[in-house]
């Protein structure tokens, strides 16, 4: 397992966040004139109690639903159902679920967290509670991933054509395009995200470098060998067919390209295990339903897939300890007055996602859920 | 969608052997000024599918690119300016990209192509 030294002299570039861009949800609901301000004062007991009450009601309901669904309807996580829908149909249902989830939730996320929709990378002794520090941590995550994968900094060797798979509202796309002065394409299933990504990109003066398409990561609309950096930051979790996903990443990668996957996984299985423990599976299933995730895999599964495709320099690391402050920070932001009211205004899908957050923390604590990075190089 | 992007998009419908280049049906084309960068153009040139670019530019109403091009033309400022305009400044805002084999249309709305496949195309 690779350890990242907290005293290493990593450098990171703070992304320029244009102060004139108003998040669209603010425009829609609160009118112009308010910026994307960080939430303040999140130790509010009253709201915490309301949320806990709703959480208990939700758990009761979801336990009943799980019992019902295991005997009749197809489930997103495709684990314990007796009815097996055609895989293509299930996949289409999953894809539209993912698109709808992000169409509904993205505005709220951006309001509070900004344009990076991924975990921050923290030192083990992290103790700040400021949201701007979390944003720095999200930027550090990008830099640490590039460093881990040994993406060349040398201007003669740096990437010139980058692909961001599961690009969200383009935080990584813009950051990478700026950092390497490169062209970047981003793909997402969510039309709303693509529009928002494009608007932010234009507002930040990067429209000549970064473009977005609505496309499926499992069936990418690019010919072979196009990109010299293929980037998947916390999108792998949504891919129902990991083999197809990895195959596509490799197909569109140019000779010599670097492929970086940063993703939630379940823990690696020991040699004697055929699967996770039952209670681990149940925990993951609840999370799957809320976040439109198909069945989880492990980092080892990714490594095996990449090795089977004859990729070079395949590396993996468990970064769970470096992301542990993240979910508590997200929960705290949801418990602020602003976060809570905004949640109520979005919709059930987003709320369900929010209510499931304690399960993510539980999963990390139990060692069931891991935050992994896997990288490799395509041979020349 | 810029033509630089179009030059790297293809139809990936099941059974299609050559989904590149996509034909363009243009309903709304917008011109957006971009700073001229000759070095970028010279670096990009070898990676471009020239005929696809020239045809695409014509679909967007710009017929000033030659049908064929070679690296010696990069010495000409006039050529570079035309390349710059076609590649980076013409935007397809509304219209469709059409699979050359099946005729299936991928819509382009507000400048964003939707390349998602239907169930039977996967």
Query: Taking 90 as the threshold, does the pLDDT of residue B94 lie above it?
Result: yes
Q: Chain centroid to CA B3: how far? A: 3
Q: Does A345 touch chain B (CB under 8 A)?
A: no
Give which of B86, B89, B98, B112 to mutate to test A binding, by max A Cβ within 10 Å: B112
Residue B19's closest chain A neighbor by CA? A223
Chain A residues whose beta carbon lies within 8 Å of the beta carbon of residue B119: 88-89, 92
Q: Is B75 exposed, middle or buried (0-12, 13-18, 19+ CB in 10 A)?
A: exposed
Cβ B117–A216 below 8 Å, yes or no?
Answer: yes
> Are the beta carbons of A214 and B112 separated by less than 8 Å?
yes
> Which residues of chain A have a CB within 8 Å of the CB of B20?
223
Q: Are A242 and A295 in contact (CB under 8 A)?
A: no
CB contacts of B2 in chain A (<8 Å) are 211
pLDDT value at residue A159? 96
Residues of B in contact with A223 (CB under 8 A): 8, 10, 20
Average pLDDT over every residue of B84-94 = 97
Helix A348-355 / helix A87-113 crossing angle, nearest 10 deg: 80
Query: Are the C-beta atoms of A117 and A169 separated by less than 8 Å?
Result: yes
Beta bridge partners of A213: A187
Whole-number pLDDT of residue A125: 78
CB spacing of A185 vs B2 below 8 angstroms? no
DSSP of chain B: -BHHHHTT-----TT-S---SPEEEEEEEEE------HHHHHHHGGGS-HHHHHHHHHHTT---S-SS--GGGGG-HHHHHHHHIIIIIEEEEEEEEE-TTT-PEEEEETTEEB-PPPGGG-
Q: Cα Rg for chain B, rounded, in angstroms?
A: 15
Helix locations, A70-170, DSSP H:
87-113, 131-148
Residue of A367, A352, A365, A360 whose CA lies nearest to A284 = A360
Instruction: Identify the CA nearest to A51 among candidates A329, A331, A327.
Output: A331
CA pair distance A99, A292, nearest whole angstrom: 9
Average pLDDT along chain A, 380 residues, taken 10 residues at a time = 34 31 35 32 42 52 44 36 57 84 78 85 79 87 98 92 97 97 96 95 94 97 96 94 96 97 95 94 90 90 95 96 88 78 80 84 92 96
Using the Cβ of A198 and the Cβ atoms of chain B, whether some distance falls under 8 Å is answered with yes
- Asked if A212 and B2 come within 8 Å (Cβ–Cβ), the reply is no
Q: Is A79 part of the contact surface with chain B (CB cutoff 8 Å)? A: no
Q: Indicate which of B9, B34, B94 best probes the interface with A, i.e. most A CBs within 10 Å of its own CB.
A: B9
Predicted local confidence at residue A55, as pLDDT: 52
Q: A163 has which bridge partners?
A: A185, A230
pLDDT of A90 reads: 78
Interface ipTM: 0.93
CB-based contact, B1 to chain A, within 8 Å: yes
pLDDT digits (tens, 9 = 90+) for B32-58: 999 999 999 999 999 999 999 999 999
Q: Which residue has the higher pLDDT, B101 or A66?
A: B101
Q: How far is B51 from chain A (nearest CA, A)?
A: 16
> Among B36, B24, B34, B2, which Cα is nearest to B105's?
B24
- Chosen for mutation from A212, A213, A216, A227 (greatest number of chain B CBs closer than 10 Å) is A213
The answer to whether the Cβ–Cβ distance between A221 and B12 falls below 8 Å is yes
Nearest to A339 by CA among A13, A27, A50: A50
CA dist list (Å): A209 to A17, A53, A99, A136, B31: 17, 47, 25, 23, 16
CA distance B113 to chain A (A): 5
Q: What's the residue count for chain A?
A: 380
Nearest chain A residue to B112, by CA = A213
Residue numbers in B near A162 (CB within 8 A): none
A/B interface, count of CB pairs below 8 Å: 66
Edge-to-edge strand ranges of the sheet holding B112-113: B23-31, B90-98, B105-109, B112-113
Give pLDDT, residue A56. 54
């Amino acid at each position: 397992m690779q350890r990242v030294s907290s005293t290493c002299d990593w450098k990171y570039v703070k992304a320029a966040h244009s102060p004139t861009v108003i998040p669209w949800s603010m425009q829609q609901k609160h009118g112009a004139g308010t910026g994307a301000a960080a939430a303040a004062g999140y130790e509010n007991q009253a709201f915490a109690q309301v949320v806990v009450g709703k959480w208990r009601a939700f758990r009761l309901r979801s336990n009943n639903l799980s019992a019902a669904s295991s005997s009749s309807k197809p489930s997103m996580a495709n684990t314990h159902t007796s009815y097996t829908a055609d895989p293509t149909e299930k996949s289409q249902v999953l894809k539209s679920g993912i698109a709808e989830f992000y169409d509904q939730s993205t505005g709220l996320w951006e309001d509070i967290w900004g344009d990076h929709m991924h975990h921050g990378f923290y030192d083990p002794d992290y103790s700040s509670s400021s949201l701007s520090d979390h944003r720095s941590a999200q930027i550090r995550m990008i830099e640490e991933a590039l460093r881990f994968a040994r993406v060349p900094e040398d201007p003669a060797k740096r990437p010139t054509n980058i692909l961001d798979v599961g690009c969200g509202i383009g935080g990584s796309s813009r950051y990478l395009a700026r950092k390497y002065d490169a062209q970047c394409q981003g793909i997402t299933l969510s039309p709303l995200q693509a529009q928002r990504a494009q608007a932010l990109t234009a507002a930040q003066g990067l429209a000549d470098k970064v473009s977005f398409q609505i496309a499926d990561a499992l069936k990418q609309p690019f010919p072979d060998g196009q990109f010299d950096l293929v980037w998947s930051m916390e999108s792998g979790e949504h891919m129902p067919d990991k083999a197809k996903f990895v195959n596509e990443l490799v197909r569109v990668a140019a000779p010599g390209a670097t492929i970086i996957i940063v993703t939630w996984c379940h823990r690696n299985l020991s040699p004697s295990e055929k699967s996770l423990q039952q209670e681990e599976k149940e925990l993951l299933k609840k999370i799957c339903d809320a976040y439109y995730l198909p069945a989880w895999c492990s980092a080892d599964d990714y490594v095996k897939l990449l090795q089977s495709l004859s990729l070079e320099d395949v590396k993996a690391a468990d970064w769970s300890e470096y992301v542990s402050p993240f979910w508590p920070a997200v929960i705290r932001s949801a418990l602020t007055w602003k976060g809570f009211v905004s949640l109520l205004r979005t919709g059930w899908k987003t709320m369900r996602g929010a209510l499931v957050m304690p399960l993510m923390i539980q999963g990390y604590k139990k060692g069931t859920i891991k935050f992994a990075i896997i990288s490799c190089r395509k041979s020349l | 969608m810029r033509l630089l992007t179009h030059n790297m998009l293809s139809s990936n419908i099941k059974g299609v052997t050559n989904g590149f280049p996509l034909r363009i049906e243009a309903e709304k084309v917008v011109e957006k000024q971009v700073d001229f960068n000759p070095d970028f153009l010279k670096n990009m040139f070898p990676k471009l599918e020239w005929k696809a670019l020239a045809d695409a530019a014509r679909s967007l109403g710009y017929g000033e690119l030659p049908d064929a091009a070679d690296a010696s033309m990069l010495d000409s400022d006039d050529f570079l300016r035309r390349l710059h305009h076609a590649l980076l400044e013409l935007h397809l805002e509304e219209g469709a990209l059409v699979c050359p084999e099946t005729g299936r249309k991928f819509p382009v709305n507000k400048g964003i192509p939707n390349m998602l496949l239907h169930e039977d195309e996967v």
